[in-house]
Amino acid sequence: MPKESFLQNRIRSVGFALKGALLLIKTEASIKIQVFIALVMTAGGFYFDISSTEWILQIFAISLVLGIEGLNTAVEKLADFVQPEFDEKIGFIKDISAGAVMLVSIGASIIGLIIYLPKIF
């Protein structure tokens, strides 16, 4: 089999990543909720005509939450594959992973409050 060029290899990897992102959105309830919140926040950004800096912070917060939630889903799937039975260590790993999502979600919520509270009240 001929060796793939660097570019072909990169394009193939982007294809896998896109497939993964679509699978996440299609199959994971938590991601669906977060994508819905992201769409509402984006609509809010247009409605309140937020500044460039506010857009940057909002896009950063949304991407961070979606990205970490995706990694959390991957950790959960891997944990279930490695150990389908009840296991304290697996519980601990899953709790830590869920905790990471919670931390970035709190940060993102605070960013949202700082941007929108003064515009609403």
Ligand X SMILES: Nc1ncnc2c1ncn2[C@@H]1O[C@H](COP(=O)(O)OP(=O)(O)OP(=O)(O)O)[C@@H](O)[C@H]1O
Which residue in the set 64, 75, 98, 100 belongs to the binding site for ligand X (CB under 6 A)? Answer: 98
Residue 94 interacting with ligand X (CB under 6 A): yes
Which residue in the set 54, 59, 76, 105 belongs to the binding site for ligand X (CB under 6 A)? Answer: 76
| Cα dihedral 103, 104, 107, 113 in deg (nearest 10) | -120
Tell me how far apart the alpha carbons of residues 61 and 66 are, in angstroms, rounded to a whole number: 9
Residue 30 interacting with ligand X (CB under 6 A): yes
Size of the site for ligand X (CB under 6 A): 10
Tell me how far apart the alpha carbons of residues 22 and 25 are, in angstroms, rounded to a whole number: 5
Q: Which of 52, 57, 58 is nearest to 39 (CA)?
A: 58
Residue 86 interacting with ligand X (CB under 6 A): yes
Which residue in the set 25, 35, 90, 100 belongs to the binding site for ligand X (CB under 6 A)? Answer: 90
Q: Which CB atom, from 54 or from 76, has the smaller least distance to ligand X?
A: 76
